Amino acid sequence: MIPIRDELPTRRFPVVTVALILVNTAVFLYEVSLGPARELFFFQAGLVPAFLWGKTQLLHGFSVPPLLTLLTSIFLHGSFFHLLSNMWYLWIFGNNVEDFLGRWQFLLFYLGCGFAAGLSHALAFPSSLLPTVGASGAIAGVMGGYFLLFPRARILTVVFWGFFVQFLYVPAVVFLGFWILLQMFYAIVSLGFPGYGGIAWFAHVSGFVVGALWCKIIASRTYRRIYW
C-alpha cells in the first residue's frame, strides 16, 4: 500500500515539516556532490553501532562524535528513492502532527523520535560496522503520533492486487496498524542476523512507539487542561 494523501486539513502552514524536507533534500544534494567520497561521509556522519559503543575506531580522519551520529544520521539518505519515500511520508503525516503539537515541540518531537530510533537499532545490533542512515526512524515517530491522534482519518491509498491497481480510502488506524505490524515482523526476523545493517527495522518500531507515547501524554494533558 502506498499513501497518496489524507483528508485532514491543517489550521496553519506546516513550517517545520517543510523545513525538514528542505534540509534533508539539501543534505542529499551535498552527499551527491561528494562523488566517491560519499561512502566515507556515511561512515563519518552516519550511525555505526560498533563505533557508538566503542567496539571499534573509525580510522577515516574527522568524524562526528559517536553520540551525535544518532541525530546527524537522520538527515542522510542512501539514494534518491530513499529520500523521496521518506519525505513523502513526512509530508502526508507530519503536517497534522505539527499542527497539533505546535512548531517548536514538533521539531523536538521529530529529533527525539529519531534519536530513540537510532539508539534502539544500535542496541539491537551493537557490533554492526555498517553505517545506518535515513529519517525513517524519526518519521516512524510521526506516524506513531498520527496513529494515536487521528486514528479515524482517511488515507487515500494505492493498493496493488497482483496486476490490478485500486485507489481506496483506508482509515489511518488500519493503514498505520498494518505498517507497524510489518515492521515488527521484520524486526524479529532480523534478529537472526547478528551482523545485520541494512534496513533498521527496530528503529521503525521504536520510533513509532515513542511517537505514539509522546502524543498520548500531550493529548492527555491537553484534555485535562480543557475539561478540568
In the predicted structure, residue 218 carries a pLDDT above the cut 80: yes
| 87 in any annotated domain | yes
Q: 164-212 pLDDT, tens per residue?
A: 888 999 999 999 999 999 999 988 888 776 555 567 889 999 999 999 9
Query: Residue 56 is part of a domain; what is its CATH number?
Result: 1.20.1540.10
Task: Please check whether residue 5 is in contact with residue 91, taking contact to mean a CB–CB distance below 8 angstroms.
Answer: no
| 162 in any annotated domain | no
The pairing of strands 154-161 and 2-6 is antiparallel
**Percentage of the chain lying above the pLDDT 90 cut:** 69
Give the three-state DSSP class for 60.
Answer: coil
- To which H or E segment does residue 59 belong? none
| 175 in any annotated domain | no
Q: Give the span between the Cα atoms of 104 and 55, in whole angstroms.
A: 36
Domain count, the chain: 1
Q: Which of 178, 181, 94 lies closest to 136, judged by CA?
A: 94
| 67 in any annotated domain | yes
Mean pLDDT across 84-103: 96
**C-alpha distances in Å from residue 119, one per residue of 73, 109, 111, 114:** 11, 15, 12, 9
| 164 in any annotated domain | no
| Residue 170 Ramachandran class (φ > 0 left, ψ -120 to 50 alpha, else beta) | beta
CA torsion 132→134→137→143, rounded to 10°?
-160
Q: Which domain holds residue 65?
A: 9-150+182-227
- How distant is the alpha carbon of residue 64 from its chain centre? 21
| 2 in any annotated domain | no
Q: Which three cell numbers stand for residue 6?
A: 489524507
Give phi and psi for 35, each to the nearest 5. Answer: 65, -135
In the predicted structure, residue 87 carries a pLDDT above the cut 60: yes
Q: Grade residue 61 by pLDDT with cuts at 50, 70 and 90.
A: low
| 177 in any annotated domain | no
| 58 in any annotated domain | yes
Q: Which of 152, 136, 142, 148 lies closest to 186, judged by CA?
A: 136
Instruction: Output the pTM of the full model.
Output: 0.91
Q: CB-based burial of residue 29 (10 Å sphere; 0-12 exposed, 13-18 middle, 19+ buried)? A: exposed
Q: Grade residue 94 by pLDDT with cuts at 50, 70 and 90.
A: very high
The pairing of strands 154-161 and 164-171 is antiparallel
Mean pLDDT across 45-65: 80
pLDDT at 227: 32
Q: Give the span between the Cα atoms of 223 and 134, in whole angstroms.
A: 34
Q: 25-52 pLDDT, tens per residue?
A: 999 999 999 999 999 899 999 999 999 9
